[in-house]
Amino acid sequence: MLILYNPRAAVSKARIPMSLMALAALLEGKRAYEIVDGNLDPDPQRTIAEIVEAGQGPHYLLCTVMPGPQMAWAVPHSRALKARFPALTVVWGGYFPSMHPEVCLNSGYVDFIVQGQGEHTLLELLDVVERGGGLSTVLGIWYRDGITLRHTPPRPLADPNTMPRFPYHRLPMERYLGHTFMGRRTVCHHSSVSCPFPCSFCAVIRVFGRAWLAETPERMHGTLRHLQDTYGVDAVEFYDNNFFTQEARTLEFAQRIAGMGLSWWGEGRVDTLLKYSDRTWEGMRAAGLKSVFMGAESGSQEALKQMRKDPLKIHDTLAIAQRCQQYGVIPEFSFVLGNPRNPHQDIVDSIAFIRRLKQVSPLCEVSLYLYTPMPGGDLYEEAVAQGFAYPTTLEEWITERWLRFSGMRDPATPWLTAADVSLVRDFETVLNAHFPSYTDIKLTRLQRALLRTISTPRYHLQAYRKPLELRAALARVHYRHPQVEGF
């Protein structure tokens, strides 16, 4: 029995566990499997144990693991289940094990790591484990050979158009349809793999490389038609690393879904979307595009260069904000502040830039993160030179200090002072109160007006320090922001 486990993530609503569904699509009709979603199941460890006890082996625990909150569950559950069922084969895949395979295997309770795109890798691994053969022939895995850790060459990305469609019928779909700012029955979808751009702070290249493979507009339309006809879906969140990479694909997709009554959201690059023609923007608006998430990253041109965001220029972000406003699309911008070379100046410059951005587009969404090193690149080497080092055990990775690091909220990196972290968080509080997120559909018009009124003096005077009254007000109205809780 294959147990596909999605550990709980700190989100306000459950989303379809797409990484596990990609595996399930290949397993459907070939192997027995169960999906255990920690975002729905109050005691997934007990559920997994009951599945193992109920059937004859071999049993496999296939666990997807993102850095951060998921690890707080994946680690103790994998450890406890392996101790209770020593014959259970524990396989980890996802972003964290793909970036830190050695620390996972050294734990003693993870047997294999599937690195990168795992669908075909898993099937080949199972075949070798059960029928015999050399593990060295399976591309894209890490494993232990006695006291030696071994790994095989990476597996080339598979074209998503060659993959079977997700077996949605295996999920309680009603529990995954969320009420969001876009619609009452919002679903998520992933239509492409990887990203062709080399941003130094991003894990995507490390995990998948710079190839970008995408579903055709025809296939995307077919999937959304099925979701709409079967489950009444009225809105879609595209969680692609870069949905808007290819303009012709975007336009054809928009033309195909026009008239379906869908609203949608996706992630893209500022400089890419600036090159889109008026025709494409008009097509996206007609097809229900509500918002676009983009990485502005910094208000410092030097910081952008260090982050390998070239050829992005600061004024490009202002221009795309105006373009979005022209077509009735709300832009969302993320900023990654506090790079190791000049963290304080990066923060100060970015705060000033965000104020300019809000003048151009008052409705734009702003999410603030603090830089956390990713393996590889100049910034990572500089971080190491300043004393940065990753944990060497999974148990350390799930301590409060490293969970904060993974959340990019308070990473405790050696070059960031407590004063700089406070400046970012205090400014964020004032900003959120003065410009409440449009994604918070529970916030009333009166509550928005009150938040704006009490935050106006601080915002205009740039008096960000210790906004205790604003924090209390935001807590009182149960304010939610997508960077913390998702949409």
Digit-coded pLDDT (tens) for 109-143: 999 999 999 999 999 999 999 998 899 999 999 99
Q: Where residue 347 falls among pLDDT bands split at 50, 70, 90? A: very high
Please identify which residue in the block is written with the tokens 């808007």.
244
Dihedral sign, Cα of residue 262, residue 254, residue 281, residue 310: positive
- The candidate with the shortest Cα–Cα distance to 122, out of 159, 91, 87, 77, is 91
Q: What tens digit of pLDDT does each residue of 184-198 get?
A: 999 999 999 888 776
**Per-residue DSSP letter, 209:** -
Question: Is pLDDT at 487 greater than 50 in this prediction?
Answer: no
Cis bond upstream, residue 362 (ω within 30): no
DSSP state string for 137-203: GSTTEEEEETTEEEE-PPPPPPPGGGSPPP-GGGS-GGGG-B--SS-SSEEEE--EE--S---TT-S
Tell me the domains of the chain and their CATH numbers. Answer: 2-151 (3.40.50.2300), 177-397 (3.20.20.70), 417-481 (no CATH)
Query: Could you tell me which residues come within 8 angstroms of residue 468 by beta carbon, excluding any fewer than 6 positions away?
Result: none
Nearest to 237 by CA among 70, 482, 480: 482
Tokens of 210: 């710079």
- How much is the pTM? 0.93
Give residues with Cβ within 8 angstroms of 246, minimum separation 6.
Answer: 214
